[in-house]
Structure 1
Amino acid sequence: MSSIDLSQYEAEVAAAEAEVTRIREANAELAEAYRGDPSEGAREILRRGAASLAAARDRVEAARVALKLAQATGSPHGLLAREGVVAGSLAVAIPAGSSSGERARLIEAALSAELTGVARDLGVVLAAPAERYTRERPGRDAEGRTILDVSGHVEGDVLMPAVSRSAKNARRS
Structure 2
Amino acid sequence: MSTIDLSQYEAEVAAAEAEITRIREANAELAEAYRGDPGEDAREILRRGAASLAAARDRLEAARVALTLARTTGSPHGLLAREGVVSGSVAVAIPAGSPSGERARLIDAALSAELTSAARELGVVLAAPAERYTRERPGRDAEGRTVLDVSGHVEGDVLMPAVSRGAKSARRG
TM range, smaller chain = over 0.9
* 1:60 Cα deviation after fit: 0.2
- What is the match of residue 65 of structure 2? 65
* 1:50 Cα deviation after fit: 0.6
- What is the match of residue 23 of structure 1? 23
- What is the match of residue 146 of structure 1? 146
Q: Which amino acid aligns with 1:51?
A: A
Alignment of 1:1-173 (within 5 A): 2=3, 5-173=5-173
* 1:9 Cα deviation after fit: 0.5
| Count of residues in Structure 1 that have an aligned counterpart in Structure 2 | 172
How far apart in 2 are the matches of 1:153 and 1:126? 10
Q: Percent identity?
A: 88
* 1:7 Cα deviation after fit: 1.0
How far apart in 1 are the matches of 2:121 and 2:26? 42
Structure 1: which 5+ runs fail to align?
none
* 1:137 Cα deviation after fit: 0.7
How far apart in 1 are the matches of 2:150 and 2:100? 18
Q: Which amino acid aligns with 2:162?
A: A
How far apart in 1 are the matches of 2:58 and 2:43? 23
* 1:145 Cα deviation after fit: 0.8
CA RMSD of aligned residues (A): 1.0
Which of structure 1's runs of 4+ aligned residues deviate more than 6 A?
none
* 1:81 Cα deviation after fit: 0.4
Q: Which amino acid aligns with 1:33?
A: A
How far apart in 2 are the matches of 1:131 and 1:167? 14
Structure 2: which 5+ runs fail to align?
none
